[in-house]
Structure 1
Amino acid sequence: MVRLKVEKMGCGGCAKSVTSAVQAIEPDARVEVDLGAKLVTIFGAEGPADRIATAISAAGYPAVPA
């Protein structure tokens, strides 16, 4: 499990963009988004957390380990 804080994520469109960024590099992962807490939890990710954070950040949503 990987948990990341994504401060700029504030709406359903943001959540969809973040989910798409994760699934582009971890297609089999399950992504849960908590907009209120600005947290993204990824289950079944095989890559390191920093790789996933980099992908989300590249999509325009800076992400850091939570």
Structure 2
Amino acid sequence: MLSYRVDDLSCGHCVQAVTAAIKALDPAADIAIDLASKRVDVRSDREQSAVAGAISKAGYTPAFYEQDEAAAPSSGPCCCGSRR
């Protein structure tokens, strides 16, 4: 799975634009976008840089998550001390 942080995602239109851009590159891509965390997860046969290029071409700024950042969040306390 390819994971990106796209800080300039701000609304449903942004989600649709990014989804359309990735689907234009790879119609078979499986895309999950979490607007609240600005995270875009893509399951695709395309190269990570090609998917990032499609997101950029749509007008957004993707940043690659490193492997440890892309892992599921821990169930430990968050920054405010509460449990997730």
TM range (shorter): over 0.9
Name 2:29's counterpart in structure 1: 29
Structure scoring higher RCO (CA < 8 A, sep ≥ 6) equals 1
Identity of aligned residues (%): 34
Question: Tell me, which stretches of 5 or more residues in structure 1 are unaligned?
Answer: none
TM-score w.r.t. length of structure 1: 0.93
Of structures 1 and 2, the larger Rg is shown by 2
Name 1:39's counterpart in structure 2: 39
Q: Deviation of residue 30 (structure 1)?
A: 1.0
SS at match of 1:23: helix
Question: Tell me, which stretches of 5 or more residues in structure 2 are unaligned?
Answer: 66-84
RMSD over aligned CA atoms reads 0.7
SS at match of 2:32: strand
Greater fraction of residues in strand: 1
Mapped partners of 1:16, 1:2: distance in 2: 18
Mapped partners of 1:54, 1:7: distance in 2: 15
Mapped partners of 1:42, 1:33: distance in 2: 9
Number of aligned positions between the proteins = 65
Name 1:64's counterpart in structure 2: 63
Mapped partners of 1:6, 1:60: distance in 2: 11
Mapped partners of 1:38, 1:10: distance in 2: 8
SS at match of 2:36: coil
